[in-house]
C-alpha cells in the first residue's frame, strides 16, 4: 500500500511539473491560447485550449457577447425562449451582415447560443475560408444549415437524453456555396473524393478544435447529410466527440 501511495505521489508530481513546463513553453512562445487559464481572445490563432474555452462560455453570456463585440462580429441578441422544463435559451444571438463576418447563413434567420456563434466565427476565419481559398481559390459566401434550436431529445426519440439543439447549443451544417458558384454538399460530396470531399473533411476536422462535439457522415447514418456542431461542456453524447 505504501508503495502504491508513493507511486501516486510521483505521478501527481510529474503531472504538475509537465503542466508547468507546458505553460512556460506556451508563454515563451507568446501563445496564451495554449494555456488553459488565460482569457479567450477570438483574434488569436486557434490554440490547444481554444475549444475548451469556447465551450466554457456556457452560462457566461455577457462575457461571450463581449468577445464577439471585441472581435468585430456584428450580432443581434435574441429574446429568451422557454418551452417546458428542458427546452429554451436565454443567451442566443444572430449574426448581422457585415463586420468581421463575411459568410451568410441560409436560411438567414439562424440563431444559436453565444458559445456556438463564437465557435462559428472562429471556424469561418481560421478553418473554412482558408480551406476554400487553398483548394478552390474562392471564398465561402453562404453556409446552408438545418437550424439550431429544436425542442427534442437526441435523434428525436421519445425518451433519453435531451439534444443540445433543445437549448440552441448546436447547429447542423449541410452545404457551402463559394464565390465562384461552386456548391459543396455534405450528402452529395462527402464520399465522392476530390477537392470537395477534401474540403469537407478539412473543415470537419478543423471544427473539432473549436466545438465540443463534431459529428459527420463518418459517425453514423443519421449524419450522412450534415455536420453536427455543439458546445456542450462534455459533448452531446456525454463526452467529447470528433468524428
Chain segment 13-39, per-residue pLDDT in tens: 665 556 555 455 555 456 777 788 889
Query: What does the pLDDT average to over 177-198?
Result: 98
Q: What CA–CA distances, in Å, run from 13 to 7, 17, 29, 80, 177?
A: 10, 6, 24, 46, 51
Give per-residue pLDDT as tens, 111-140.
Answer: 999 999 999 999 999 999 999 999 999 999
Averaged confidence pLDDT in the chain = 89
Which of 87, 89, 92 has its CA nearest to residue 152?
87
Amino acid at each position: 500500500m505504501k508503495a502504491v501511495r508513493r507511486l501516486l505521489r510521483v505521478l501527481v508530481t510529474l503531472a504538475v511539473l509537465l503542466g508547468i513546463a507546458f505553460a512556460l513553453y506556451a508563454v515563451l512562445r507568446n501563445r496564451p491560447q495554449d494555456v488553459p487559464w488565460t482569457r479567450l481572445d477570438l483574434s488569436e490563432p486557434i490554440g490547444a485550449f481554444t475549444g475548451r474555452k469556447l465551450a466554457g462560455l456556457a452560462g457566461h453570456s455577457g462575457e461571450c457577447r463581449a468577445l464577439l463585440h471585441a472581435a468585430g462580429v456584428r450580432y443581434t441578441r435574441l429574446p429568451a425562449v422557454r418551452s417546458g422544463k428542458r427546452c429554451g435559451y436565454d443567451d442566443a444571438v444572430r449574426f448581422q451582415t457585415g463586420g468581421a463576418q463575411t459568410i451568410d447563413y441560409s436560411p438567414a434567420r439562424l440563431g444559436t447560443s453565444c458559445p456556438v456563434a463564437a465557435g462559428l466565427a472562429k471556424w469561418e476565419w481560421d478553418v473554412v475560408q482558408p480551406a476554400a481559398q487553398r483548394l478552390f481559390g474562392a471564398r465561402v459566401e453562404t453556409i446552408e444549415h438545418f437550424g439550431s434550436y429544436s425542442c427534442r431529445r437526441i435523434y428525436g426519440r421519445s425518451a433519453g437524453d435531451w439534444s443540445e439543439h433543445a437549448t440552441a447549443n448546436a447547429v447542423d451544417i449541410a452545404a457551402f456555396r463559394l464565390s465562384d458558384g461552386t456548391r459543396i454538399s455534405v450528402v452529395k460530396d462527402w464520399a465522392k473524393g476530390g477537392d470537395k470531399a477534401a474540403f469537407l473533411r478539412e473543415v470537419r476536422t478543423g471544427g473539432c478544435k473549436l466545438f465540443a462535439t463534431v459529428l459527420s457522415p463518418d459517425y453514423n447514418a443519421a449524419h450522412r447529410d450534415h455536420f453536427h456542431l455543439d458546445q456542450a461542456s462534455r459533448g452531446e453524447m456525454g463526452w467529447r466527440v470528433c468524428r
